[in-house]
Amino acid sequence: MHQNHIRKPDWLKVKFPAGANYTRIDRYHRLNGLNSVCRSAACPNQGECWSQGTATFMILGNTCSRHCRFCNVASGQLERPDPQEPARVAKAIYELELKHAVITTVTRDDLGDGGASQFVDLIREIRKLTSECRIELLISDLQGNQEALASIVAEKPDILGHNVETIPRLYSQVRPEAEYRRSLSLLADIHRLDPNIITKSGLMMGMGETEEEVLRVMVDLCEHDCKLLTLGQYLAPTRNHYPVQRYVSPQEFADYAKKGLALGFAHVEAGPLVRSSYHAEEQYDASKGEAHG
């Protein structure tokens, strides 16, 4: 059932971006040629997050090696990794005085390590400039490359996330080049390699999943040592993308959050406009509060 032509419910209306922080971050991106998932993936929270002085950076170019049907990031000609990018992004994080930096990436299956070395270099560059900024990474599955994952874990980011995105039944339609079990294994491997690193994952809702299927994924994530979970409404970027099947109500999201906490997640951020990095700093604080409470 395609609902792309149905008007979005009121709870999906987004405030127009404004304010000094928004203008400052927007100007910084434009002047320094930075990629952010805020803009490249058409995130609905760009205005709110930038107005609060937070942003999610995207490294390894603006073109993805995969062809997922839900994502607004372009596929096509891949760029060589820029050796200056880690220093440039670290400088931005420092100059913007961010206290919690989120860095994600396009998937780079064309690179032997999936781009892990770029993450390693970036963490080192950030820490050269500041010890005050927490570092959260959202990585690809690295095609199951254990050595590549271990190199990132060794740098001890505060949060290391990887999104399963949807239920296993929909993988062939939504993200055919990914493997559900491989994603779960990556999260478990992070915890095995360093239990002090907080693990995180996320799902998009409204793609045709059932409540039972969502709860099964939540159980799987808990069993694979995932500590933080984000749940948000899927919004098709264009009519050529996978179609929205339904709009999930705020109350349903609230119910999933309660069930997630009961299952054992340290924190669940759930709501129609929630994305992986939404309220990232608050998610971290909540998880540490439980861990040390």
- Show me where the domains of the chain are located: 10-291
Q: Indicate if the pLDDT at residue 49 is higher than 90.
A: no
Q: What is the pLDDT of residue 99?
A: 82
Q: What is the pLDDT of residues 100-117, one digit of tens each?
A: 888 998 888 889 999 999
Identify the bridge partners of residue 57 per DSSP, sorted by sequence position. 36, 103
CB atoms within 10 A of CB 203: 23
Least confident of 3-17, 153-167, 247-261: 3-17
Least confident of 92-101, 174-183, 221-230: 92-101
Q: Using the 8-state DSSP alphabet, how is residue 15 labeled?
A: P
**Can you tell me the distance from the alpha carbon of 167 to that of 236, in angstroms, rounded to the nearest whole number?**
17
Pick the CATH number of 10-291 from 1.10.3720.10, 3.30.930.10, 3.90.1170.50, 3.20.20.70: 3.20.20.70
Q: What is the pLDDT of residue 237?
A: 75
Contacts of 65 (CB under 8 A, 6+ apart): 75, 78, 106, 107, 108, 109, 110
**Can you tell me the distance from the alpha carbon of 151 to that of 187, in angstroms, rounded to the nearest whole number?**
15
- Percent of the chain whose predicted confidence (pLDDT) is above 70: 76
Prediction pTM value:
0.84
Q: Indicate if the pLDDT at residue 291 is higher than 50.
A: no
Q: Indicate if the pLDDT at residue 68 is higher than 80.
A: no
Q: What is the pLDDT of residues 241-290, one digit of tens each?
A: 889 999 999 999 999 999 999 999 999 999 998 877 666 677 777 777 64
**Helix, strand counts (H, E) of the chain:** 11, 9
Phi, psi of 3, rounded to the nearest 5 degrees: -115, 20
Contacts of 223 (CB under 8 A, 6+ apart): none
Q: Indicate if the pLDDT at residue 18 is higher than 60.
A: no
